[in-house]
Amino acid sequence: MLVLRALGLGDLLAGVPALRGLRRAFPGHEIVLALPPGLREAALATGTVDTVFPAEAPGRGVPSLRGWPGPPPDLAVDLHGNGPESHDALAELCPRRLLSYARPEAALDAPPRWRDDEHERARWCRFLAAYGIPADPDDVALPRPAGPSLAPGAVVVHPGADSAARRWPADRYAEVVGRLRADGHRTVLTGGPGEDELCGYIAARAGLDRRDVLCGGLPFGELSALVAGAALFVSGDTGPAHLAVAHGTPSVTLFGPVAPHLWGPPSVDRHVALWHPGPPGDPHGTEPDPLLLHIAPHQVVTAATRAASAGWSRDGLEVAGHGR
């Protein structure tokens, strides 16, 4: 079976429930996941696939699969999107059977229809259900990493994001980190490649020790162990936030421009989604989204101290322990 989901870390982890459903439905198949090569370790750590096929394209485009080395797949599954491009990339390999939103099998009585207002995890589980494959959108847990945490019991703050639209201002993160430290919490920063300057600025403003700045892009195993061993994880709507959910680590996630009912955590008390209601914005915009900027540092600090609580609101901000 060849599954296409050549997107980022958050997309991979949001796809775990669907991948787990495929694993259960086809126990005799070798499952190959087509995704960017930098996500190989993360994909294998999910326990849902047997191997990976490197495939990537700029942005969120559809990669070519023409380098596929084997015979035509018995089954191909398009978990990449709803357009014909991803369907056609798989169809070029002449699989015996191909499951997709774009061109569903003619024999289906109720073919899957794409819904823009649906949570990402639920979208792909409903898609599989149309083909008679059960999957649970809340089935997100990952095995605990084997390696030790670099900062066990710390509060981990991840200020970066792939797009500026989802990046809360550095000064505000610095204020949150400083207040958490003042309350007696060891707090560490993480950042991906190219985010050293961002982390360095926040660390300097908040008075963090150099040992508590873990930037430059940790290998997935180290990042996974760090998040799994954290007391709390604080970030914007980005891939590592999904990792906190997968490890059951209490989390506070700052949403904007995309609402948590589309990409937020499952409905459990330990995960708090901060979101100021309003019209959706461009998730790939070049400036912080106005809805994200409505979130104030004191609200993040309050949510961090009450991450096990859900369903309360303050100052016009919706605070929910769910994303569905």
* Per-residue pLDDT reduced to its tens digit, 51-101: 999 999 998 899 999 999 999 999 999 999 999 999 999 999 999 999 999
Global pTM reads: 0.93
Helices (H), the chain: 9-14, 16-25, 40-45, 84-91, 120-130, 170-182, 196-206, 220-228, 239-246, 260-263, 290-293, 297-305
Predicted confidence band of residue 306 (pLDDT cuts 50, 70, 90): confident
Q: What is the pLDDT of residues 209-243, one digit of tens each?
A: 999 999 999 999 999 999 999 999 999 999 999 99
Q: Could you please report the per-residue DSSP string of 15-39?
A: THHHHHHHHHH-TTSPPEEEE-GGG
Q: Which residues contact 48 (CB under 8 A, 6 or more apart)?
A: 16, 19, 20, 22, 23, 31, 33
280-304 in b/e form (b: 16+ CB < 10 A) is ebebeeeebbebbebbbbebbbbbb
